[in-house]
């Protein structure tokens, strides 16, 4: 490449620049620039043509003035003229000016494109390089439109020079990033992959960047790159450091290329065994090299080496299939945990976080717990400490929970303010998740409130109360502990809230002790009353009225307090109302009524932990550091199994995980009206929790659709799925509506219907793919045509995958297509019915079930349900008028199945007998399944006696 020689320098330009630099003030500078601009204008205006040199000089000056921050509105034409010069320096300045100054809507764009085209077509590699750089620098849509087709040709042409190939690959990458839709995929893609085999390492490096980006969008097309990348990688890794000459950086062979290749491999799942063996070898070599003593003391050497190593570890974590490698990676990172270099420690902690979520390396990560805790305590850099907290959270399990929680608590006292809230949430979650002993849990949370009360969010103390209420065994202990905690002279308001609530519910459990007699309890709480905010005071008032019920002996004291002016005439309307109502309640109501109204709170229903939801929200949707999330993503494909669950519900099978599912929102018990429990619940609902409750399990919704054709099938924070369906004979059509509830687009939105093999033969479903992007707030519709071929048992599963704000979402729901949808009612007379009933007496043709009803029975409701189920309701058929009788035909393509059913309620025992008979026993059984949950869960029938037995015939 011709360099700018000394003699070629532009004196005028140098003088101008030094003039500007010598200016004493801004005004002087502006004056000098104005003068120069006028000079250039007059030169450009001049009639006689300028030679290339002066044109270049003036364009350079203009460029300099522009870079100083002044507007330039002329000289573009001269710059474009420079493009057609044959001298390198002039062309270069022209391209420079254009890439800096020309905006896309300029009229000159046609001329510029023409010049670029000429240069691309020339065989001069320098000119081609300049043109490619210009395209990449401008990188606009217009450029992409004009050249996206051309560049791939240059890239894969056999006779292109290496340096041009390199530029072309990077240029194409740039265009692809700005406007991916304009870069055509074609046969060149397969040839690009082969660039990985190129002799020239520069070309390989550039091509790897391009392929990685392309492969992320179209993994299929570039699948072949995996084996090539692996072989290239192994050649680099095994080469002696001197082999690659220019591409060896401080004794590390081609570090940039290695890193890029490893990145590329991270786009794909582990390759097939043959290649995998070679890859494993490579990765092992990289890990081995990390153990070798450094070849140079220079920081660049270790930086390059570690870069490759970390990328290799990311690949190992990504594949998550080689336990041996994972453990080795973990050990390697463990060494870095104590490294002098802060950056290394940070990276090690970060990578370990992801390692901790892999089942193979979880144990290995746990061995470093001491080091991590040490890092938490001694690390100077706050971001590293933050990582240490994350890692501790990720590595926590039942065995080390107590230790980790204790360490985090002790660290919390000195923690930085910026990460305190997050630590608080993490401690709360870990304490809850791995609590074996609930007294420990209560202690921990109370400690938490004591240490960092300001950072304890509402959700945290809600959880304590929910758990204490749901667990009989800790209530006494909790009451005792909060009582002791409240005795501290200064306690945090959150502690007062917890204390008030728990003593109000379970104060009686410790009232026996004279040190915590009712009056002492009351006085203790009331001493905090005046220091608290209004919501807390309201809660305390509720506690007082509960005390009235628990301890009649303090009734008068409490009434006095309620009667005082500061309560009855309080400026806050809520407090005033409570005071008035409670006072009245305590005077008017008898002891019995009080006991009923102020009964202990019922247990809370179990839902997803609101704290977890809060932590997730805090982290933002894009970070997938969370253990569960990472796991779930991996198991997304498996999720289409028989137990479909919404993706956001935790599905860990351990018993303590159930606790996680506890109330996200305040429960609304169907208890006695407004006062007592209801009011205490109001305290909760005063401040609604940050996250909307998850939709109830899809199983519930599924059951609702047994008798219904339209409605909402599934709903969470992001997505709503609605259904509308109609069935006639053995055919049906279902409209599925997907509503995006957020304001962000869903990308790669793909709903798929999954049928088991068995189901596929019996039920044919036809559907069209929907648009892969769903705009925020928009709804898309999908039509499913259904034909029932034969009787079937399972329901198809609708699996929806999409990308929301960078995270991958996966939702599976059962589609309510059940056999009873093809059930058509038939009318028949009593005699007819019993005749048929009797014909169907063989055991395969009969199903009988006794179950306990969940709800009080209502004749009308039951009737409606039987009709909704699909059968005809036959009145005046059964001799016992309380029994319900139905009949219908199931239509399939192959056959029609007659069906009879009877429901015999036993009102006293709330037990019902449901019998069904059909010509196909299987059909009957699944009909039953479809119907069952409507009335209640199946119970063993030991307590119930069949009341009556009826026979029924088949129809066809």
Partner 1 sequence: MIGGLFIYNHKGEVLISRVYRDDIGRNAVDAFRVNVIHARQQVRSPVTNIARTSFFHVKRSNIWLAAVTKQNVNAAMVFEFLYKMCDVMAAYFGKISEENIKNNFVLIYELLDEILDFGYPQNSETGALKTFITQQGIKSQHQTKEEQSQITSQVTGQIGWRREGIKYRRNELFLDVLESVNLLMSPQGQVLSAHVSGRVVMKSYLSGMPECKFGMNDKIVIEKQGKGTADETSKRRPSAPAHSGKQSIAIDDCTFHQCVRLSKFDSERSISFIPPDGEFELMRYRTTKDIILPFRVIPLVREVGRTKLEVKVVIKSNFKPSLLAQKIEVRIPTPLNTSGVQVICMKGKAKYKASENAIVWKIKRMAGMKESQISAEIELLPTNDKKKWARPPISMNFEVPFAPSGLKVRYLKVFEPKLNYSDHDVIKWVRYIGRSGIYETRC
Q: Is 22 in the site for partner 1 (CB under 8 A)?
A: no
Question: Which residues are within 8 A (CB) of 151 and not within 5 positions of it... i.e. 6 or more apart?
Answer: 132, 135, 168, 171, 172, 175
Among 2, 8, 14, 35, binds partner 1 (CB under 8 A): 35
| Pick 79 or 897: Cβ nearer partner 1 | 79
Does 58 carry a binding-site annotation?
Answer: yes
Q: Which is nearer to partner 1, 31 or 569 (CB)?
A: 31
Instruction: By CB under 8 A, name the one of 44, 64, 268, 808 that touches partner 1.
Output: 44
Nearer to partner 1, 38 or 864 (CB): 38
Site string for partner 1, 47-86 (x = CB under 8 A): ----------------------x---xx-x----------
Judge whether 141 is annotated as a binding position.
no
Nearer to partner 1 by Cβ, of 73 and 592: the residue is 73
Encode 744-790 in three state secondary structure. Answer: CCEEEEEEEEECCHHHHHHEEEEECCCCCCECCCCEEEEEEEEEECC
Single out the residue of 266, 260, 331, 251 nearest to residue 297, CA to CA: 251
d(CA 801, CA 811): 6
Considering the rule CB under 8 A, would residue 945 count as an interface residue with partner 1?
Answer: no
> How far apart are CB 133 and partner 1 at their closest, in Å?
24
59 labelled binding-site residue: yes
Query: Which listed range, 103-111, 138-146, 430-438, 479-487, lies at the site for partner 1 (CB under 8 A)?
Result: 103-111
Q: Are 840 and 917 in contact (CB under 8 A)?
A: yes
- Check residue 42 for interaction with partner 1 (CB under 8 A): yes
Measured from the CB atom, the residue of 108 and 580 that comes closer to partner 1 is 108
Closer CB to partner 1, 40 or 376, in the complex: 40
- Dihedral (Cα; 674, 680, 686, 689), 10-degree rounding: -120
Q: Are 239 and 255 in contact (CB under 8 A)?
A: no
Stretch that binds partner 1, among 33-41, 140-148, 718-726, 805-813 (CB under 8 A): 33-41
Beta carbon nearer to partner 1, 108 or 532: 108
Tell me which stretch binds partner 1 (CB under 8 A): 102-110, 470-478, 575-583, 706-714.
102-110
Q: Which is nearer to partner 1, 22 or 652 (CB)?
A: 22
3-state per-residue secondary structure call for 598-623 = CCCCCCCCCCCCHHHHHHHHHHCCCC
| # residues near partner 1 by CB under 8 A | 21
- Token pair for residue 610? 């609101």
Q: What length does the chain have?
A: 956
495 touches 450 (CB < 8 A): yes
The dihedrals phi and psi of 798, each to the nearest 5 degrees, come to: -100, 115
Report in angstroms how near the CB of residue 43 gets to partner 1 at its nearest: 8
Whether residue 35 is annotated as binding a ligand: the answer is no
Q: Which of 24, 340, 380, 937 binds partner 1 (CB under 8 A)?
A: 24
Would strands 252-253 and 248-249 be described as parallel, antiparallel, or unpaired? antiparallel
The nearer residue to partner 1, 39 or 84, going by C-beta atoms, is: 39
Asked whether position 383 contacts partner 1 by CB under 8 A, the answer is: no
Stretch that binds partner 1, among 39-47, 525-533, 803-811, 939-947 (CB under 8 A): 39-47
C-beta atoms surrounding 10 within 10 Å: 19
Interface characters, 823-842, with partner 1 (x: CB under 8 A): --------------------
Binding mask 107-146 for partner 1 (x = CB under 8 A): xx--------------------------------------
Q: Which of 32, 471, 733, 934 binds partner 1 (CB under 8 A)?
A: 32
Helix (H) or strand (E) holding 206: helix 201-217
Dihedral (CA of 257, 259, 263, 269) sign: positive
Backbone region of residue 802 per phi and psi (left: phi > 0; alpha: psi in -120 to 50; beta: other values): beta
61 annotated binding-site participant: yes
Position 324 contacts partner 1 (CB under 8 A) = no
- Could you tell me the smallest distance in angstroms from the CB atom of residue 21 to partner 1? 13
- Minimum CB distance to partner 1 smaller for 44 or for 88: 44
Q: Determine if 106 is a binding residue for partner 1 (CB under 8 A).
A: yes
Give the residue with the Cβ less far from partner 1, 44 or 735. 44
Q: What is the Cα–Cα distance from 896 to 887, expressed in whole angstroms? A: 13
Residue nearer to partner 1 on the CB measure, 25 or 743? 25
Within 522-581, the residues that bind partner 1 by CB under 8 A are: none
Using the rule CB under 8 A, give the single segment among 20-28, 403-411, 787-795, 820-828 that binds partner 1: 20-28
Shortest distance, CB of residue 37 to partner 1, whole angstroms?
A: 8
Could you tell me which residues come within 8 angstroms of residue 952 by beta carbon, excluding any fewer than 6 positions away? 833, 834, 836, 837, 838, 839, 840, 887, 900, 902, 917
Contact between 22 and 28 (Cβ < 8 Å): no
Residue in 9, 41, 699, 946 binding partner 1, rule: CB under 8 A = 41
HEC sequence for 146-198: HHCCHHHHHHHCCCCCHHHHHHHHHHHHHHHHHCHHHCCCCCHHHHHHHHHHC
- Angle, CA of 384, 387 and 393, to the nearest 5°: 145
- Encode burial over 879-890: b for 16+ CB neighbours within 10 A, e otherwise: eeeebbbbbbbb
User: Using CB under 8 A, which of 21, 45, 48, 297 touches partner 1?
Assistant: 45
For residue 94, the minimal CB distance to partner 1 (Å) is 16
As measured in angstroms, the least distance from the Cβ of 23 to partner 1 is: 10
> What is the spatial order of strands in the sheet that 719-728 belongs to?
710-715, 719-728, 731-740, 779-788, 763-767
Give start and end residues of each alpha helix (H) in 46-179: 52-67, 76-83, 88-101, 109-121, 125-138, 141-147, 150-156, 162-178
34 binds partner 1 (CB under 8 A): yes
Selected from 1, 3, 5, 25, the binder of partner 1 by CB under 8 A is 25
- Report the site for partner 1 in 265-304 (rule: CB under 8 A): none
Tell me how far, at minimum, the Cβ of 112 lies from partner 1, in Å: 13
What radius of gyration, in Å, describes the C-alpha atoms of the chain?
38
Question: For residues 107 and 876, which CB has a smaller minimum distance to partner 1 in the complex?
Answer: 107
- Of 108 and 593, CB closest to partner 1: 108
The piece of 22-30, 143-151, 525-533, 765-773 that touches partner 1 (CB under 8 A) is: 22-30
Assign 112 to helix, strand or coil: helix
Annotated binding residue 43: yes
Helix (H), strand (E) at residue 234: helix 225-238
Nearest to 903 by CA among 925, 923, 928, 922: 928
In angstroms, give the least distance from the CB of 77 to partner 1.
8
Window of 105-113, 297-305, 494-502, 746-754 that interacts with partner 1 by CB under 8 A: 105-113
Least separation in angstroms between CB 73 and partner 1: 4
Instruction: For the chain, give the longest Cα–Cα distance.
Output: 118
Rule CB under 8 A: choose which of 9, 14, 15, 31 binds partner 1.
31
- Measured from the CB atom, the residue of 16 and 926 that comes closer to partner 1 is 16
Selected from 37, 352, 376, 575, the binder of partner 1 by CB under 8 A is: 37
Asked if 366 and 393 count as a contact pair (C-beta separation under 8 A), the reply is no
Q: How many CA atoms lie within 13 Å of 377's alpha carbon, on the beta-carbon side?
A: 12
Q: Which residues are annotated as a binding site?
A: 11-12, 43, 53, 57-61
Point out which residues bind partner 1 (CB under 8 A).
Answer: 24-26, 31-32, 34-35, 37-39, 41-42, 44-45, 69, 73-74, 76, 106-108
């Amino acid at each position: 490449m011709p360099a700018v020689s000394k003699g070629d320098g532009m004196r005028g330009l140098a003088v101008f620049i030094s003039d500007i630099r010598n200016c004493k003030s801004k005004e002087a500078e502006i004056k000098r620039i104005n003068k120069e601009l006028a000079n250039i204008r007059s030169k450009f205006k001049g009639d006689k043509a300028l030679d290339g040199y002066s044109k270049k000089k003036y364009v350079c000056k203009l460029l300099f003035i522009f870079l100083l921050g002044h507007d330039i509105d002329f000289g573009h034409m001269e710059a474009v003229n420079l493009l057609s010069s044959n001298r390198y320096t002039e062309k270069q300045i022209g391209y420079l000016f254009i890439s800096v100054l020309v905006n896309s809507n300029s009229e000159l764009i046609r001329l510029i494109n023409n010049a670029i085209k000429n240069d691309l077509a020339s065989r001069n590699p320098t000119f081609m390089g300049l043109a490619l750089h210009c395209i990449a620098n401008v990188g606009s849509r217009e450029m992409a439109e004009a050249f996206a087709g051309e560049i791939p040709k240059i890239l894969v042409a056999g006779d292109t020079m290496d340096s041009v190939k390199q530029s072309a690959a990077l240029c194409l990458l740039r265009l692809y990033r700005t406007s991916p839709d304009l870069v055509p995929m074609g046969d060149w893609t397969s040839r690009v992959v082969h660039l990985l085999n190129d002799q020239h390492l520069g070309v390989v490096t550039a091509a790897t960047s391009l392929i990685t980006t392309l492969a992320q969008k179209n993994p299929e097309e570039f699948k072949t790159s995996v084996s090539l990348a692996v072989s290239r990688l192994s050649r680099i890794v095994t080469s002696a450091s001197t082999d690659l000459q220019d591409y060896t950086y401080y004794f590390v062979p081609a570090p940039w290329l290695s890193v890029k290749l490893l990145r590329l491999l991270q786009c794909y799942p582990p390759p097939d065994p043959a290649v995998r063996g070679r890859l494993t070898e490579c990765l092992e070599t990289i890990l081995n090299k990390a153990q070798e003593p450094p070849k140079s003391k220079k920081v660049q050497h270790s930086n390059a080496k570690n870069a490759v190593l970390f990328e290799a570890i990311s690949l190992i974590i990504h594949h998550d299939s080689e336990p041996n490698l994972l453990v080795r990676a973990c050990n390697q990172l463990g060494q870095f945990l104590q490294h002098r270099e802060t950056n290394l420690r940070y990276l090690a902690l970060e990578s370990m976080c992801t390692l901790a979520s892999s089942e193979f390396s979880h144990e290995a990560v746990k061995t470093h717990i001491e080091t991590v805790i040490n890092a938490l305590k001694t690390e100077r850099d706050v971001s590293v400490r933050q990582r240490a907290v994350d890692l501790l959270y990720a590595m926590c399990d039942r065995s080390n929970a107590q230790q980790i929680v204790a360490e985090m608590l002790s660290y919390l006292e000195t923690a930085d303010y910026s990460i305190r809230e997050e630590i608080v949430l993490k401690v709360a979650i870990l304490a809850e998740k791995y609590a074996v002993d609930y007294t420990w849990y209560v202690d921990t949370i109370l400690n938490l409130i004591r240490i960092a009360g300001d950072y304890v969010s509402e959700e945290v103390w809600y959880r304590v109360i929910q758990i204490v209420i749901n667990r009989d065994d800790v209530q006494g202990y909790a009451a005792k502990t909060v009582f002791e905690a409240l005795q501290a002279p200064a306690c945090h308001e959150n502690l007062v809230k917890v204390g008030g609530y728990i003593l109000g519910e379970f104060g009686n459990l410790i009232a026996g002790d004279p040190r915590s007699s009712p009056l002492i309890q009351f006085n203790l709480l009331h001493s905090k009353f005046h220091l608290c905010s209004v919501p807390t005071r309201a809660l305390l008032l509720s506690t007082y009225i509960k005390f009235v019920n628990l301890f009649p002996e303090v009734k008068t004291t409490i009434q006095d307090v309620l009667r005082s002016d500061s309560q009855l005439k309080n400026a806050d309307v809520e407090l005033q109302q409570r005071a008035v109502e409670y006072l009245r309640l305590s005077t008017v109501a008898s002891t019995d009524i009080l006991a009923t109204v102020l009964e202990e709170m019922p247990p809370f229903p179990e839902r997803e932990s609101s704290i977890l939801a809060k932590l997730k929200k805090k982290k933002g949707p894009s970070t997938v550091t969370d253990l569960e999330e990472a796991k779930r993503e991996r198991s997304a494909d498996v999720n289409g199994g028989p137990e479909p669950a919404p993706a956001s519900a935790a599905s860990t099978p351990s018993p303590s995980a159930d606790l996680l599912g506890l109330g996200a929102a305040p429960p609304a018990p169907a208890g006695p009206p407004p006062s007592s429990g209801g009011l205490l619940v109001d305290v909760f609902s005063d401040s609604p929790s940050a996250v909307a409750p998850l939709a109830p399990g899809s199983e519930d919704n599924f059951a609702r659709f047994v008798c219904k054709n339209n409605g909402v099938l599934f709903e969470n924070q992001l997505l709503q799925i609605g259904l509308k369906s109609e069935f006639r004979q053995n055919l049906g059509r279902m409209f599925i509506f997907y509503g995006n509830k957020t304001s962000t687009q869903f990308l790669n939105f793909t709903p798929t219907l999954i049928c088991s093999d068995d189901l596929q033969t019996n039920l044919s479903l036809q559907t069209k793919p929907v648009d892969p992007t769903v705009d925020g707030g928009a709804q898309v519709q999908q039509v499913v045509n259904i034909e029932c071929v034969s009787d079937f048992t399972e329901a198809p599963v609708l699996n929806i995958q999409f990308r929301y704000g960078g995270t991958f979402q996966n939702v599976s729901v059962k589609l309510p297509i059940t056999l009873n949808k093809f059930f058509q009612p038939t009318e028949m007379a009593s005699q007819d019915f019993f005749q048929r009933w009797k014909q169907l007496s063989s055991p395969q043709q009969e199903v009988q079930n006794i179950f306990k009803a969940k709800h009080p029975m209502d004749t009308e409701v039951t009737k409606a349900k039987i009709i909704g189920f699909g059968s005809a309701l036959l009145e005046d058929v059964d001799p016992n008028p309380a029994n319900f009788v139905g009949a219908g035909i199931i239509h399939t393509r192959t056959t029609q199945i007659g069906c009879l059913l009877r429901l015999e309620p036993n009102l006293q025992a709330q037990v019902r007998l449901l019998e069904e008979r059909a010509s196909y026993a299987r059909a009957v059984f699944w009909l039953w399944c479809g119907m069952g949950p409507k009335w209640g869960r199946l119970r063993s029938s030991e307590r119930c006696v069949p009341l009556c037995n009826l026979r029924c015939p088949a129809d066809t």
